[in-house]
A and B are shown apart, each in its own frame.
Chain A
């Protein structure tokens, strides 16, 4: 897979969430992922975009979501940045805890972590950056794993 990077600057709208998901699906297919992994990647990106639009930027039309896809060294790396107040990952409740199981929200980050190989959350006063990594299957991904 050739190294490649593409980025988008998007409004804080529900359309952005759908657009991010659609783009992630297309890029994951092009990167050679199988059907299940494509679904996982697209859902992880969708959930990250939901967080950025709703919880980060709070639908503020003056704030943007930056979405970046990079294929490099056998990895698909996806970065989503918002311009919100910053998400503290340590304060996210465990949705599998008995007291949270029947809550109607709070599963987004959990799903992202379930579906991606690596997840890094970098909050700051100017917004949150979430970096998602999925190892690409095939010769390049396999060679990387074998060398670790």
Chain B
């Protein structure tokens, strides 16, 4: 299953519902383009919902880091929502879990954006 994204707005926060695989090639490019498009529209409060992401490889991890850094560099904020166990474990072993602001409740995550 390839990567898909769906965009919705809640209380000034842009939620990107991601599903499928964030891997080298198409999956990483789709995520990169989605974040780039949002920043171009000045939508800088971004919540990446990864609840339906079934697989992520090192390129996908790199893409998450890139998205986080790019948004922060434009004075925005990017948080992660609903990590699957696989993604959670990957972020733990790569020591990125504490770098990202990870939430497991959408309402709480939205309130956490300033």
Contacts and interface: CB of A to CB of B under 8 A. Distances in A.
Nearest to A110: B94
Interface string A26-61: 000000000000010001001100100010000000
Interface residues of B, number: 19
Contacts of A47: 57-58
A43 B23 CA distance: 11
B99 A107 contact: no
A114 interface: yes
A96 B65 contact: no
Is the contact region of chain A dominated by helix, strand, or loop, or is it mixed?
A: helix
Given A101-B95, A101-B96, A102-B69, A107 B86 contact: no
Interface string B35-67: 000000000000000000000011101110110
Contacts of B30: none
A103 interface: yes
B57 A102 contact: no
Contacts of A111: 58, 90, 93-94
B102 interface: no
A46 B24 CA distance: 10
Contacts of B90: 111
Closest 3 CB pairs of A and B: A104-B62, A107-B58, A104-B66
Given A14-B25, A102-B99, 5 more contacts: A47-B58, A101-B95, A104-B62, A104-B66, A107-B61
